[in-house]
Amino acid sequence: MSSALESLRRDFGGGIIEPGGAEYESASRTVLVAGSPAYVLRPESVGDVQAGVKFAASAGFLLSVRGGGHSFAGFGTNDGGVVIDLSRLADVEIIDDERHLVRIGGGATWGQVATAMAPRGLAISSGDTKSVGVGGLTLTGGIGWKVRKYGLALDNVVAVEMVTADGEVAHASARENPELYWAIRGGGGNFGIVTAFDFVAHPTTDVFFGKIAFPASVAATVLQGWADYLRTAPEELTSIANLANPFAGGPEAPVEIEVAFDGDDLELAAQALDPIRRLGPVIDDDVALKPYADVLVDGVIPPPGIQLVTRSAFVNKESVAEVLQILSDVGASEGSPVISVRSVGGAVARIPDDATAYAHRQAELMFALTTVGPPPAIEAARPALEAIWGRLAPHVNGAYANFLASATEENVAASYPTETYQRLATVKNQYDPGNLFARNHNIRPQ
């Protein structure tokens, strides 16, 4: 046995899963991607994370860090390397009742967080899915159902505890290691393993949530009116427009405007939502008052052999009309990818661009195009998809790294404008000069 492995077996108190072991099959894969790592480590303490990092570094293994395992690019597993799976570090603890400060383990999922906080009347704007990890979503952004009112998930992080590439524990906040604090809010898992996040949560009531659907034939006018309205709509309203759902008729599928109104006042909710209802002939409206924790959905695990390939971009105000027209045209064509357009703006846009490493604050919309199917169908759809992106390219900017199924240099450049990238690379040099944390949209040490 190598000395690195001896040290691991001595210092690591969590689960060590190896090929052939009972749990290996499920532990080797993420929600979306299969892998064949040499070791899956499930730490139960910060000390275990330190031992895992030292093991991977000293034995020269490729390292994947897994939070909730939902990365579209499959960062949470690999072939032949080490996976540090944080799922046993999932405590959710209110550490300051007055300030609504919540400490969340680096491997918790948003469903665990919502369930733990609901009895205290608190919530954090996260994402739309219970099984998505706090780690991956937060370190790269976090566009959730309260994003227009409270900003991105990362805008509500006040401090982190992490294990860096040298196996040491570091803390980052506005006061302690401020550059690291800047970098982890948008720079993904490039700088170390976050073992605990301190978030400021927000008091929440039940919320009005549901979808308002219109026929596909009015997609273009509905989308346009929706985007125009959101510019001045109350920030309690956050919304996502979905079209071309292949399981609901593809080009004939209704345009679904999902809405979340952060409040339980019927009259205020109606005032905020009625302008959407007036955008066209409503064919379905299931908006109802619900506990916030019930708004998050269970993640769908694609059956074996089915891939999900997604790519995203941001849209600034001057390009909204053009982009929505192209997306409506695309949605009306046979074989369209699934189109999902998210409203951002509001609280996100009030934070200066350089305050965090997330650099897309002036965008009004973020959208993702997703192709679903077996690999041959995905391959066959690729040229058409490239043509769609070719049409969109002059009008869109950047990319939301959390909705990217690949990690090419072009993807990294789209996620991080040059100035942001340079500043991230300086932090990377300091905390991970050997690029141990490379299974991400990678910032290379320089």
Ligand X SMILES: Cc1cc2nc3c(=O)[nH]c(=O)nc-3n(C[C@H](O)[C@H](O)[C@H](O)COP(=O)(O)OP(=O)(O)OC[C@H]3O[C@@H](n4cnc5c(N)ncnc54)[C@H](O)[C@@H]3O)c2cc1C
Q: How many CB atoms lie within 10 A of CB 383?
A: 9
Residues 28-57 contacting ligand X, CB under 6 A: 30
Nearest approach, Cβ of 378 to ligand X (angstroms)? 16
Q: Name which position in 135, 167, 187, 225 contacts ligand X (CB under 6 A).
A: 135
* Residue placing its CB nearer to ligand X in the complex, 279 or 292: 292
346 near ligand X, judged by CB under 6 A = no
Nearest approach, Cβ of 77 to ligand X (angstroms)? 8
Residues 143-182 contacting ligand X, CB under 6 A: 143-144
* Residue placing its CB nearer to ligand X in the complex, 100 or 441: 441
* Residue placing its CB nearer to ligand X in the complex, 76 or 346: 76
Left, alpha or beta for 64 (phi > 0: left; psi -120 to 50: alpha)? beta
Q: How many CB atoms lie within 10 A of CB 429?
A: 13
Residues 365-404 contacting ligand X, CB under 6 A: 402-403
* Residue placing its CB nearer to ligand X in the complex, 141 or 151: 141
β-strand pairing of 202-203 with 122-123: antiparallel
What residues have CB less than 8 Å from 378, skipping those under 6 apart?
Answer: 307, 309, 371
Q: Are 366 and 356 in contact (CB under 8 A)?
A: no
Distance CA 39, CA 446 (A): 30
Q: Which stretch binds ligand X (CB under 6 A): 2-10, 129-137, 312-320, 417-425?
A: 129-137
111 near ligand X, judged by CB under 6 A = no
Distance CA 353, CA 361 (A): 6
Q: Which stretch binds ligand X (CB under 6 A): 60-68, 272-280, 315-323, 379-387?
A: 60-68
Residues 183-222 contacting ligand X, CB under 6 A: 188-189, 193-194
Can you read off the two tokens belonging to residue 379? 């391959």
Nearest approach, Cβ of 188 to ligand X (angstroms)? 6
Can you read off the two tokens belonging to residue 63? 């390292």
Distance CA 350, CA 152 (A): 11
Q: Which stretch binds ligand X (CB under 6 A): 44-52, 59-67, 92-100, 329-337?
A: 59-67
What residues have CB less than 8 Å from 174, skipping those under 6 apart?
Answer: 158, 181
129 near ligand X, judged by CB under 6 A = yes
Contacts with ligand X by CB under 6 A: the residue count is 35
Q: Which stretch binds ligand X (CB under 6 A): 125-133, 269-277, 320-328, 346-354?
A: 125-133
DSSP, collapsed to helix, strand or coil, labels residue 107 as: coil
Residue 69's alpha-carbon distances to 26, 85, 138, 295, 301, in angstroms, are: 12, 9, 13, 21, 11
Q: How many CB atoms lie within 10 A of CB 438?
A: 19
Nearest approach, Cβ of 301 to ligand X (angstroms)? 9
Nearest approach, Cβ of 168 to ligand X (angstroms)? 15
Nearest approach, Cβ of 41 to ligand X (angstroms)? 13
67 near ligand X, judged by CB under 6 A = yes
Can you read off the two tokens belonging to residue 374? 């077996």
Can you read off the two tokens belonging to residue 443? 């910032």
Q: How many CB atoms lie within 10 A of CB 184?
A: 28
* Residue placing its CB nearer to ligand X in the complex, 108 or 425: 108
Q: Are 80 and 36 in contact (CB under 8 A)?
A: yes
Q: Which stretch binds ligand X (CB under 6 A): 140-148, 166-174, 285-293, 325-333?
A: 140-148
Q: Are 53 and 417 in contact (CB under 8 A)?
A: no
DSSP, collapsed to helix, strand or coil, labels residue 275 as: helix
Nearest approach, Cβ of 363 to ligand X (angstroms)? 13
133 near ligand X, judged by CB under 6 A = yes
250 near ligand X, judged by CB under 6 A = no
Tell me which residues touch ligand X (CB under 6 A). 30, 65-72, 75-76, 86, 106, 127-129, 132-133, 135-137, 139, 141-144, 188-189, 193-194, 299, 402-403, 439-440
